[in-house]
Chain A
Amino acid sequence: MGNRIDQTFEKLRASKQAAMIAYIAAGDPSLDATEAIVPALERAGVDLVELGLPFSDPLADGIVNQLAAARALEAGATTVKVLECVRAIRKKSQVPIVLYTYLNPIYRYGFERFMKDAEASGVDGLLILDLPPDEVDSNPDFATDSSLKRIRLIAPTTPESRITKLTAGASGFIYYVSREGVTGERADVAETLSERVAAIRATTSLPIAVGFGISTPEQVKQVAAVSDAVVVGSAIVKRIAEWGAEPDLVDRLSAFVAPIAAATKSTLHRA
């Protein structure tokens, strides 16, 4: 069986559609809730889910995601339990899942052991925010031959000369950060987006996802027109914070996400 991430992007590429990627913090408000939310997101039109594996010191994240990680840890999320949660999700859903996290939890778990266990649990890809390719090159222990896709971030501050270095070791897709700063909702989408996406596209055939600060169907349409996937994170996490205690949390989230997911599909891109 091929990787779920590749299969999803191949399918969407054939129909000239962009993917909708949703980010949530695993374990917020509880791992049981996450187990129910992920399949519901898929039914609402989400093509790929990024699950935050919570870390106590998420320095690339804005306040919304920091609080989500804190709630998840408070509710008892651990690396082992998050992997168990993915295993449980896999009984109900085959939506591609990428773990989004920081290095220390994986480092303490054991890098190779983590890769093996994550793969066995049904995880498809990994995005480690504070592990740049420079460190992978000089620490062979961070370069494993696992089949997990290694998603890489590219920032607006990344010089063009560095883009090739980032795309060379990446797999699955490239995650372009559309705005400088930490995660969080923004009022506008960066204007230079299409130029930057084109510069990345020149170095790789991997799909390019754009994220950091996208929250409305209008922004989604703009981004879907120039990229292969749109990441919506804080906007969803904020609703989970708000509705976490409601018995119909899952239904409310589905209703919030559905129009955003529909917007990614309303724009035929790269026609």
Chain B
Amino acid sequence: MTDLQKLPDQHGHFGPYGGMFVPETLMDALNTLTEEYAKAREDKTFQEELAATLKDFAGRPTPLYFAERLTRELGGAKIYFKREDLLHTGAHKINNALGQIILAKRMGKKRIIAETGAGQHGVATATVCARAGMECVIYMGAVDMERQALNVARMRFLGAKVVGVTAGQATLKEAINEAMRDWVTNVRTTHYILGSALGSHPYPMIVRDFHRVIGEEARRQVLEREGRLPDLLVACVGGGSNAIGLFWPFLNDENVKMIGVEAGGRGIRLGEHAARFEGGKLGVLQGTRTYLLTDDDGQIQLTHSVSAGLDYAAIGPEHAYLRDQGRIDYAFATDDEALSAFQHLSQTEGIIPALETAHAVAHVLKAAPTMNPDQILVANLSGRGDKDVAQAASILLK
């Protein structure tokens, strides 16, 4: 079996995917970031500062929780949840934001920009900027600002400037375009904290590495608890950061299966979903070659998901590669299935998940009953649902 933990190569390629497809204006900044990150990764001081901050400020390690009632009800595999929702700011996104702010300080940057979809990455970035005393500008689609209003308020309380983006369909993709335009203009003073395992090299690698702690902890915890590795890992996939963080440390454990769950929206029809492996094609968007929802003319198609964090036209390049290798399988959950799982988990386990996370939970509800009671399933509970309460109430409680 090939070592799947050796990529990307020096050019940022995961097989045919990934790379640096960006305007020349950004090449120097990306090359510098690649070099600085390579140094930081080998630097004990950097790693110690990151580990200490993750522990004392973010609240790591997060628990691996045995969902006893859900397990009994579904009558299949033992279900464990990796509780990233218990982290400070409410989602896994803080892992990467903390890593990148320490990197930005090392590079002498004074100003931070970021995009956000659901607002969790925006909140995490605003949080680490407040703590570091750095100027922070967050780009967010106008549609997402409306459906994630709580997070917009949180970012503003944390001192960030939130800039609404009205172009196109006014969601995550347009927010990334706008953040990249800002970066092109202010590249000398500014670091762009990209929030998912996508975009140009070195971002898919950096973001993955900062989230690997999820899977490293989960692997250790499940071994302590069960004395063996799990049979199945489940995580939702927008760009794919929480999924790659959980999956990566298990990639060379041949018997551990993995499923990434994309957003099926209102069903797999043009413009109604964000499941890139269902009808997506190979293409290049926002710096990377990967699977995209694009038409034959090369224009990016509209997407839809009830969850702002999964509502994006491209999937992280490493996911495309690992799917080709047959290492990770991908499924999707529709809006209705996610909303139903949102309520189900709330009422069975007393955990209100984020709507993004609810897509992973929806798959757990399908997969666990098909497994044997001596099998183990670990799902990433990537974020908590406080931010989604108003939106879910408007759909479910009317």
Which A residues contact B (CB, under 8 angstroms)? 55-60, 62, 66, 70, 73, 78-80, 102-109, 129-132, 134-135, 138-139, 152-159, 162, 166, 177, 180-182
Which of B28, B173, B186 is within 8 Å of A57, CB to CB?
A: B173
Task: Kindly list 6 other residue pairs between chains A and B, CB separation below 8 angstroms, not including A79-B298, A177-B24.
Answer: A66-B167, A104-B300, A107-B282, A107-B283, A134-B20, A180-B188
Please name the residue on chain A nearest to B313 by beta carbon. Answer: A57
B296–A130 touching, CB < 8 Å: no
Q: A57-B285, A138-B11 are in contact. Are A180 and B187 (CB under 8 A)?
A: yes
Which of B20, B27, B298 is within 8 Å of A107, CB to CB?
A: B298
B287–A108 touching, CB < 8 Å: no
A177 to B26, CA, bound (A): 12
Contact with A along B180-200 (1 / 0, CB 8 A): 110011111000000000000
Q: A132-B20, A162-B27 are in contact. Are A55 and B184 (CB under 8 A)?
A: no
Which of B11, B181, B285 is within 8 Å of A104, CB to CB?
A: B285
Q: A104-B283, A134-B11, A153-B24 are in contact. Are A57 and B177 (CB under 8 A)?
A: yes
Indicate whether B299 reaches chain A with its CB closer than 8 angstroms.
Answer: yes
The B interface is mostly helix, strand or loop, or mixed, namely mixed
Chain B residues, Cβ within 8 Å of A104: 283-285, 292, 294, 298-300
A60–B25 touching, CB < 8 Å: yes
B396, chain A: closest CB distance, angstroms: 33
Which of A59, A130, A135, A156 is within 8 Å of B181, CB to CB?
A: A59
Indicate whether B23 reaches chain A with its CB closer than 8 angstroms.
Answer: yes
A182 to B176, CA, bound (A): 14
A135–B19 touching, CB < 8 Å: yes
B299–A56 touching, CB < 8 Å: yes
Indicate whether B21 reaches chain A with its CB closer than 8 angstroms.
Answer: yes
A126 to B23, CA, bound (A): 14
Which of A108, A130, A181 is within 8 Å of B298, CB to CB?
A: A108
Please name the residue on chain B nearest to A141 by beta carbon. Answer: B16
B297–A78 touching, CB < 8 Å: yes
Which B residues contact A (CB, under 8 angstroms)? 11, 13, 19-29, 167-168, 173, 176-177, 180-181, 184-188, 281-287, 292, 294-300
A73 to B295, CA, bound (A): 13
A108–B23 touching, CB < 8 Å: no
A153 to B24, CA, bound (A): 6
B184–A180 touching, CB < 8 Å: yes
Q: A104-B298, A157-B28 are in contact. Are A181 and B23 (CB under 8 A)?
A: no
A60–B298 touching, CB < 8 Å: no
Chain B residues, Cβ within 8 Å of A134: 11, 20, 27
A131 to B287, CA, bound (A): 9
A135 to B13, CA, bound (A): 10
A253, chain B: closest CB distance, angstroms: 25
A107 to B298, CA, bound (A): 7
B173–A180 touching, CB < 8 Å: no
Chain B residues, Cβ within 8 Å of A129: 23
A157–B29 touching, CB < 8 Å: yes
A192, chain B: closest CB distance, angstroms: 13
A157–B187 touching, CB < 8 Å: yes
Which of B24, B281, B283 is within 8 Å of A155, CB to CB?
A: B24
Chain B residues, Cβ within 8 Å of A103: 21, 284
A62–B181 touching, CB < 8 Å: yes
A130–B284 touching, CB < 8 Å: yes
Q: A57-B168, A60-B184, A104-B285 are in contact. Are A158 and B298 (CB under 8 A)?
A: no
Which one of A57, A58, A139, A182 has the highest number of Cβ atoms from chain B below 10 Å of its Cβ? A57
Which of B25, B176, B282, B292 is within 8 Å of A157, CB to CB?
A: B25
B23–A130 touching, CB < 8 Å: yes
Please name the residue on chain A nearest to B178 by beta carbon. Answer: A59
Chain A residues, Cβ within 8 Å of B294: 104, 108
Q: 7 shortest A-B CB distances, which residue pairs?
A: A105-B298, A181-B185, A108-B298, A60-B23, A155-B25, A56-B299, A104-B298
Chain B residues, Cβ within 8 Å of A70: 167-168
B299–A73 touching, CB < 8 Å: yes
A69 to B296, CA, bound (A): 17
27 pairs from A and B in contact (CB 8 Å cutoff): A57-B168, A57-B177, A59-B23, A59-B286, A60-B181, A70-B168, A102-B284, A105-B298, A107-B283, A108-B295, A108-B296, A108-B298, A109-B298, A132-B20, A132-B21, A138-B11, A154-B24, A157-B26, A159-B28, A177-B24, A177-B25, A180-B184, A180-B185, A181-B181, A181-B184, A181-B185, A182-B185
